[in-house]
Amino acid sequence: MADAGMLRFHVPEPEVRPGGTPDFSNVTIAAAGSVPRPEIDVDPRIIRDMAFSIIRVLNRAGEAVGPWAGLLSDEELLEGLRHMMTLRTFDARMQMAQRQGKTSFYMQHLGEEAVSCAFRKALAPGDMNFPTYRQAGLLIADGYPMVTMMNQIYSNEADPLKGRQLPIMYSSKEHGFFSISGNLATQYIQAVGWAMASAISNDSRIAAAWIGDGSTAESDFHSALVFASTYKAPVVLNVVNNQWAISTFQGIARGGSGTFAARGLGFGIPALRVDGNDYLAVHAVAKWAAERARSNLGPTLVEYVTYRAGAHSSSDDPSAYRPKTESDAWPLGDPVVRLKNHLIRLGVWSEERHKQAEAEILDTVIAAQKEAESHGTLHAGGKPSTRDMFEGLYAEMPPHLRRQRQQAGV
Amino acid sequence: MPRRTMIEAIRDAMDVSMERDEKVVVFGEDVGFFGGVFRCTQGLQAKYGKSRCFDAPINESGIVGSAIGMAAYGLKPCVEIQFADYMYPAYDQLTQEAARLRYRSNGDFTCPIVVRMPTGGGIFGGQTHSQSPEALFTHVSGLKTVVPSNPHDAKGLLIAAIEDPDPVIFLEPKRLYNGPFDGHHERPVTPWSKHELGEVADGHYTVPLGKAAIRRAGSAVTVLAYGTMVYVAQAAAEETGIDAEIIDLRTLLPLDLDTIVASVKKTGRCVVVHEATLTSGFGAELVALVQENCFYHLEAPVARVAGWDTPYPHAQEWDYFPGPARVGRALTETLEA
């Protein structure tokens, strides 16, 4: 025994704090096209290395390369670009609306647009996502009306959730988007249960679970992996590693584990790690995992390596805990810019058309916003009724609630 | 009519429900092949297959969380937590998810689950096999909480709970599984086969949620009880000779306030009895409601007999358990007040 002296307590720290120079030299990034694409029925033991690499399709020159390329047509890629640009514009407008006092709260997706937008296109109708609060791209890419999203954010008279939920906690069964809860990780195990139910019912639909890097530390992450592994549930277990959980860098949740994807290996769940800012790679990996689930081959854990470029929420100031320019230094770049460059390289897009599309999308979002605001905002105009506060808790209102509603004079 | 134990009645309720509706699935720890540590699910896996009745990992949050996902899909899970004392890891899922899903999604998603859990003491279960956590559920908007006290009700209430469109916490007093228990631990226990409420009809019937039952009609004092305490209260009434009206609440939320108020207005006195600890227990809610609704009819302070405000001890089982002597004293004092 060399040094059996006093014990020392270990607390992981990010490489750099405010005032420092951003440094991502510790992030090992595989070259685009370098990670093989196994068959979906591969023995999970053979692909353990994939939990430690990064699947990438778009290279620095904007070319789609390697075995995960070639799944999407030019039209589909152009549509994907539009979805990401729409989400970004939507975010910017809603962030501004929050600053203008039209709503109490907002959370942006800046830098993570590819993850949810591309994933949605890998699912089939009837599949169910169990999202966190940072996957609104699932709705945008599925054609859910922006006006309805804004109505929810404004808690106005047209809010489909009747003003009961905090902004951005959307719900749409029709669009395969499970009701968002403020409690982190709870939906991860629920997704597994939904997938188990689909298997019990001999259905063909699959579920997708969503969680962030920080929330993998919650107990329900473990519960989900145990149940998914035990029952071979048809679920895609998504971990969006954007490096930050509010102010806490991902090392606090990850600890000494090599990657979040590697968490799946101990449960016998095949795990892939993918460039989350590469629309093509996200889509290809999502498609692979979805096919695995649909073929009754069981769950797949997918870690999307990305970066939370914006503040955690409208209530957060990241300059208090990380360098202001850190997102610029992020080695996987910006998902919108990368897909744009790829499409320009393909000859189906141009800087000019991109600028034009930006203007068109802004017009569309502003038009949606005007329509939503005609139904009211949090503090002005139409709002849900006080009666709505008492309704809908139970299928049938119990006597004590009926009495309280009468006391409230509604 | 056939007589069944509470265990058999509960099993029969699940059997009937699974037979009638293929969406009903049953799972939990040791629930499948083995049939449950209390035998409540015996034979169900053999009869309905492993897709309908199966063993779960030891993970209460996982059991309830996955059940919520199944309910969102369209199944009707009836899951088991092995002891109510072990529901705490699932508390987040129960209170923040199951209870609020319908409300927060405006009915887009619903949660028709039943969470069965053996509850209560009187069995030398010590700190983690005796708890009565009902107040932790009745305080949660969106849950329903049920506590049966006999085989007939257990079956009817459980079928009603499974058919209910909202999440139901179904607390089964394990002390009553094999026979009624009045707190006289020194006497041999009589089995349900010798009790009229052990008569359990075959096939489908329900006992509606939210309706209390008057177990003993009386005029001197109203006793509000549920679970094992119903029999303790009956013994106390007989032993003191006090003409108590004993109400078995059966469902704590939604509560049958009308039956309670009608009785207290008649008797003018009320004693609330439960095994759970006193402070902030469900009894406090009952006392408040009686006081609010019957103030001008009350002739004495409303009394509470409850477990002491301590963890449930092992060796001091019968000093802790509110037995007939303690309940009897409360009845006498309330009449003399």
Token digits for B188? Answer: 């041999």
Rounded-to-integer distance, Cα B121 and Cα A321, Å: 51
C-alpha distance from B92 to closest chain A C-alpha (Å):
8
Tell me how far CA of residue B88 lies from CA of A89, B116, B307, in angstroms: 43, 14, 20
SS3 A305: strand
Contact flag A186-B65 (C-beta cutoff 8 Å): yes
Instruction: Give the pLDDT confidence score for residue A2 in this predicted structure.
Output: 63
Nearest to A223 among B61, B75, B105 (CB): B61
From the list B175, B184, B208, B193, the residue with the least C-alpha distance to B4 is B193
The string of pLDDT tens digits covering residues B236-274 is 999 999 999 999 999 999 999 999 999 999 999 999 999
Q: How far is B27 from chain A (nearest CA, A)?
A: 12
Question: What is the tens place of the pLDDT at every residue in B33-60?
Answer: 999 999 999 999 999 999 999 999 999 9
Q: How far is CA A46 from the centre of its chain?
A: 28
Which pLDDT belongs to residue A172? 98
Contact A190 B25 (CB under 8 A): no
Using an 8 Å CB-CB cutoff, list chain A residues near B25.
197, 200
pLDDT of residue A1: 57
Size of interface A-B (CB pairs under 8 A): 147
How far B15 CA sits from the closest chain A CA (Å)?
18
Positions of chain B with pLDDT under 50: none
pLDDT-flagged residues of chain A (< 50): none
Q: Which residue of B has its CA nearest to A160?
A: B106
Q: Is the dihedral of CA A323, A328, A329, A332 positive or negative?
A: positive
Enumerate the β-bridge partners of residue B144.
Answer: B168
Residues of chain A contacting B100 with CB distance shorter than 8 Å: 181
- Catalytic positions of B, written as ranges: 129
Radius of gyration of chain A (CA): 22
Q: Which amino acid is at A228?
A: A
Q: What is the pLDDT of residue A258?
A: 87
Taking the C-alpha atoms of residue A342 and residue A350, their distance in angstroms, rounded to an integer, is: 10
Consecutive H or E run containing A226:
helix A219-231
Given an 8 Å threshold on Cβ–Cβ distance, is A395 in contact with B165?
yes
Contact A237, A188 (CB under 8 A): yes
B25 touches chain A (CB under 8 A): yes
Alpha-carbon gap, residue B24 to B252, rounded angstroms: 24
Burial class of residue A407 in the structure, from the number of CB atoms within 10 Å of its CB (0-12 exposed, 13-18 middle, 19+ buried): exposed
The ipTM is 0.97
Closest CA to A392 of A171, A96, A222: A171
Residue type, B50: K
A214, A220, A233: which is closest to A128 by C-alpha? A233
Q: What is the pLDDT of residues A387-407, one digit of tens each?
A: 999 999 999 999 999 999 999
pTM of the model: 0.98
Half-sphere exposure of residue A25, counting CA atoms within 13 Å on the CB side?
5
pLDDT score recorded for residue B104: 98
Given A169, A181, A230, which is nearest B57 (Cβ)? A230
Separation CA A247–CA B248 (nearest Å): 52
Q: Tell me the shortest Cα–Cα distance from A172 to chain B, in angstroms.
A: 7
How far is it, in rounded angstroms, from Cα A1 to Cα A110?
50
Alpha-carbon distance values, B38 to B63, B82, B151, B175, B259 (Å): 18, 9, 15, 11, 33
Q: Does the beta-carbon distance from B104 to A172 stay under 8 Å? A: no
Q: What angle do CA B159, B163, B169 make, to 5 degrees?
A: 75
Contact residues, chain A, for B253 at CB < 8 Å: 398, 400
Q: Are A124 and A205 in contact (CB under 8 A)?
A: yes
Q: Which residues of B touch A219 (CB under 8 A)?
A: 61, 89
Contacting B residues, span 166-195, partner chain A, CB-CB under 8 Å? 166
- Rounded to a whole number of angstroms, the distance from the CA of B108 to the nearest CA of chain A is 6
When the pLDDT of each residue in chain B is averaged and rounded to a whole number, the result is 98
In this prediction, residue A113 carries a pLDDT of 98
Residue B136 sits at the vertex; the CA angle it makes with B133 and B138, to the nearest 5 degrees, is: 110
Interchain CB distance below 8 Å, B165 and A173:
no
